[in-house]
């Protein structure tokens, strides 16, 4: 990616979250808001853990009724008896969980044991559930790691169903009709799947909102980066409610601008400055590459829509020999464009 800004917001760990509220909490949040301390991840940890615990309780009560233990002792059927709070320590900080209780006191959760106070791995497993893919089998593998080998298949299946609802809600949440700026790029990561580790491309769409905050619109996984798959990503954004993207910041991938124009024909395309600088190095000899980045930065910083400036003739001649000088100046094509921030905000606001 071309850059990241970490913004942390303080949130109450005791905040009650339902599925609809989870969707709203995800909207307009930066990566720092999602994964920083006291961020959305802490709240997501609380929501998923409590849903898993409640699923355990439901299965426990169903098994007792099926065994008929209460009937043999001439006791009323066991049932829920409110919640007790427990503070557990995770990688994102302390999280207060509402642990369900039963009337007979026979419920012993496996996810959070009665005297367990540390839960450091759950944050990582929540993220990896998404990162390893969307199939039930892979997510079941993560839940099985959390519960251990003693967990029954029915318990794993029941909790997987509850967790997948939360994951799918974020993946398919409705998006805003207009985004001023969207950065689109792919990063390479190693993903474990079916017992093997493979290198895949993670397609990331990061939006800049009118108020300056950032929102990750989605993550998509594919073996290799290509314009054809980016076209599917853009179509997915369109289907989730995006009507217009004013500026798309992308790398120099062949066919990418055409894929954007096919879905969002009015979008202006801006090549990422980092990729521009890297591309400019291909025109310089090896001995000149140390000085070339500084010269390219000066060219970009001095650029204006009225007069695209170039460095002084002396410095340019010293770096760009006749046989290495680019046929077009740095920033040509989709490289450098002029946008008025007031017009951008007005278009997305109105």
Q: Give me the CATH number covering residue 235.
A: 3.30.420.10
Do 163 and 207 share a domain, yes or no?
Answer: no
Together in a domain, 311 and 339: yes
| Whether residue 204 is found in the same domain as residue 84 | no
Identify whether residues 24 and 137 lie together within a single domain.
Answer: yes
State residue 87's pLDDT score.
Answer: 87
Q: Is residue 6 part of a domain?
A: no
Task: Give the per-residue pLDDT at 154.
Answer: 58
Compute CA distances 86 → 80, 92, 94, 162, 233, whole Å.
Answer: 17, 16, 10, 21, 41
pTM over 0.85: no
Query: Does the residue 114 lie in any domain?
Result: yes
171, 194, 229: which is the final residue of a domain?
Answer: 171
In which order are the strands placed within the sheet that holds 268-271? 214-222, 196-208, 178-193, 244-250, 268-271
Q: Are residues 47 and 34 in the same domain?
A: yes
Do 163 and 282 lie in a common domain? no
Q: Are residues 56 and 159 in the same domain?
A: yes
Q: pLDDT value at position 9?
A: 34
- Does residue 44 form part of some domain? yes
CA dihedral 318, 319, 323, 327 (to 10 degrees): -120
The sign of the CA dihedral 273, 275, 277, 283 is: negative
What pLDDT is stored for residue 300 in this prediction? 57
Asked if residue 3 is part of any domain, the answer here is no
pLDDT of residue 191: 73
Same domain, 132 and 217: no
Range of the domain at 186: 175-271
247 and 326 in a single domain? The answer is: no
Residue 12 lies in a domain: no
Residue 14 maps to a domain: no
- Cα separation, 206 vs 7, in Å, equals 14
Same domain, 300 and 197: no
Count of domains forming the chain: 3
Same domain, 94 and 68: yes
Does residue 7 sit within a domain? no
Are 140 and 218 within one domain? no
**pLDDT averaged over 10-residue windows placed end to end, the chain, 350 residues:** 35 46 61 59 79 88 78 76 85 80 87 73 53 54 52 54 71 92 89 73 91 90 87 95 93 88 92 68 68 60 53 47 45 49 55
The residue among 171, 199, 226 that closes a domain is 171
Q: What is the pLDDT of residue 121?
A: 61
Q: Indicate the residue among 171, 191, 206 that finishes a domain.
A: 171
**304 in a structural domain:** yes
């Amino acid at each position: 990616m071309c850059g990241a800004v970490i913004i942390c917001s303080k949130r109450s760990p005791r905040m009650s979250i339902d599925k609809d509220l989870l969707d709203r909490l995800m909207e307009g949040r930066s990566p720092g808001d999602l994964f920083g301390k006291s961020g959305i991840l802490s709240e997501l940890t609380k929501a998923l853990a409590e849903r898993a615990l409640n699923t355990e309780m439901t299965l426990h009560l169903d098994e007792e009724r099926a065994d008929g233990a209460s009937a043999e002792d001439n006791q009323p059927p066991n049932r829920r008896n409110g919640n007790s709070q427990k503070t557990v320590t995770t990688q994102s900080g302390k999280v207060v969980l509402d642990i369900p209780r039963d009337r007979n006191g026979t419920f012993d959760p496996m996810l959070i044991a009665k005297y367990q106070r540390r839960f450091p791995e759950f944050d990582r497993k929540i993220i990896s559930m998404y990162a390893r893919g969307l199939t039930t089998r892979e997510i079941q593998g993560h839940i099985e790691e959390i519960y251990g080998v003693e967990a029954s298949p029915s318990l794993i299946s029941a909790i997987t169903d509850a967790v997948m609802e939360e994951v799918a809600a974020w993946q398919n949440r409705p998006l805003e009709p207009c985004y001023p700026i969207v950065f689109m790029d792919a990063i390479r990561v190693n993903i474990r799947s079916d017992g093997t580790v493979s290198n895949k491309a993670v397609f990331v769409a990061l939006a800049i909102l009118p108020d300056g905050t950032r929102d990750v619109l989605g993550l998509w996984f594919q073996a290799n980066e290509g314009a054809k798959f980016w076209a599917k990503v853009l179509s997915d954004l369109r289907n989730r409610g995006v009507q217009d993207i004013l500026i798309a910041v992308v790398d120099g991938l062949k066919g990418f601008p055409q894929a954007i124009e096919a879905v969002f024909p009015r979008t202006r395309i801006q090549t990422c400055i980092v990729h521009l600088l890297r591309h400019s190095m291909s025109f310089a000899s090896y001995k000149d590459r140390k000085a070339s980045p500084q010269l390219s930065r000066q060219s970009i910083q001095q650029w204006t829509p009225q007069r695209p400036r170039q460095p002084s003739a002396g410095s340019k001649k010293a770096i760009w020999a006749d046989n290495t000088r680019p046929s077009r100046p740095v920033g040509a094509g989709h490289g450098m464009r002029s946008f008025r921030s007031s017009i951008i905000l007005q278009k997305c606001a109105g």
